[in-house]
Amino acid sequence: MRTLRLGKTGVEVSAISYGTWPFSGPNTNPAGVPVGWTGHDDQLGLAALRAAHAAGINHWDTADVYGDGRSEQLIGRVWGDVPRDEVFLASKVGWDPGEFGHYYHPQLIRQRVERSLKNLGVERLDLYYLHHCDFGPNDAYLDDAIGLLRQLRDEGKVRFIGLSDWDASKIVRVADRVDPDVIQPYRNVGADDYVSSGLKEWVDAHDVGVAFFSPIRHGLLLGKYEAPAQFGEGDFRLNVDAFRDADTLARLREKRAALEEKFAGRAQPVLGPLLGALLSDAPTGCVLLGLRNPDQVAAAAAVEPLSYDEASWVRDLYADLSV
């Protein structure tokens, strides 16, 4: 597995890193919106984590809200087999307002970090993210939230500070004030405002680490769906119309065929180019790929790097597609 320096953290992480949102299991938020994943199996998840460690996938990403702690708790069961100090472990806070009225109330963050440490069975998080950039009216909660994260760092509970959002321009807006070590933006070949928002320029100028999330848009971009997908209750993918749009799915299958032809002979002619297209212009960047089982870990581990020209070809292939 290729590794890279995660920007100013100085830590070497795998170019393909592990996203554990699917460990949530089915779940809905207090507003009744599906925010989990069906099809999860704890034993397969544990086997996948062990396989990832063996394959050199050494950066694992979770969050307090993934299954209301279920994802963190599953990771916490692996330390008997995987040395804790061989994993760069990240979690997040920010999508559950709790009883304090805002996601980033300092008392809530304090409560949440303690809960995450307990769920994960660790003394310290390597990376702790603010999960989104909504800091309330006039950013009222911003300064206190950052102050608390720095305090947690001083206390040794958190090593590095991260900032995330689905919208790259929202990260750009507060990036200087938060001064994160790592950012986590949404990026894939079907949705790519990382460059146009100015975030790439800011990252490069400040030597910040990057972890691109949903790099194959929850599996959709693999072009593996022959027919509109059905998901059970509590599955986040119910919110994504493209999974049920026959025309989009047909176009994704065509793109998949084009990748298979162009990259025939590569171990992963579809997954590899989809991920390589995101990594080639990001020297301090990795992708966070959701991995359900050891077979998917093996596929990720077999991905070969892409040249800059090949990555441009892939981006051009998907340029007419917005999913």
Ligand X SMILES: NC(=O)c1ccc[n+]([C@@H]2O[C@H](COP(=O)([O-])OP(=O)(O)OC[C@H]3O[C@@H](n4cnc5c(N)ncnc54)[C@H](OP(=O)(O)O)[C@@H]3O)[C@@H](O)[C@H]2O)c1
Instruction: Enumerate binding residues for ligand X (CB under 6 A).
Output: 19-22, 39, 61, 131, 164, 166, 184, 213-219, 222, 224, 271, 288-292, 296, 299
CB-wise, 146 or 289, nearer to ligand X? 289
CB-wise, 267 or 319, nearer to ligand X? 267
Does residue 302 contact residue 276 with C-beta atoms inside 8 Å? no
Q: Please, what is the minimum distance in Å from the beta carbon of residue 274 to ligand X?
A: 9
CB-wise, 116 or 214, nearer to ligand X? 214
Among the listed residues 66, 103, 186, 318, the single catalytic one is 66
Q: Please, what is the minimum distance in Å from the beta carbon of residue 257 to ligand X?
A: 16
Catalytic residue check, 186: no
**DSSP state string for 198-238:** SHHHHHHHHT-EEEEE-TTGGGGGG---SS-----TTBGGG
User: Taking Cα atoms as reference points, which of 181, 75, 169, 86 lies closest to residue 128?
Assistant: 181
**Angle formed at CA 186 by CA 26 and CA 35, multiple of 5 degrees:** 15
Distance CA 62, CA 18 (A): 9
Radius of gyration of the chain (CA): 19
Single-letter amino acid code for the residue at 263: F
CB-wise, 131 or 266, nearer to ligand X? 131
Q: Please, what is the minimum distance in Å from the beta carbon of residue 94 to ligand X?
A: 9
Q: Please, what is the minimum distance in Å from the beta carbon of residue 153 to ligand X?
A: 20
* 3 state SS of 64: coil
Distance CA 146, CA 50 (A): 34
Q: Please, what is the minimum distance in Å from the beta carbon of residue 264 to ligand X?
A: 18
Distance CA 228, CA 199 (A): 34
> In the chain, which residue ranges form alpha helices assigned H by DSSP?
42-55, 70-76, 106-120, 142-154, 168-178, 199-206, 246-262, 271-279, 294-301, 308-317
Single-letter amino acid code for the residue at 257: A
The residue with its CB nearest to ligand X is 19
Q: Which residues are catalytic?
A: 66
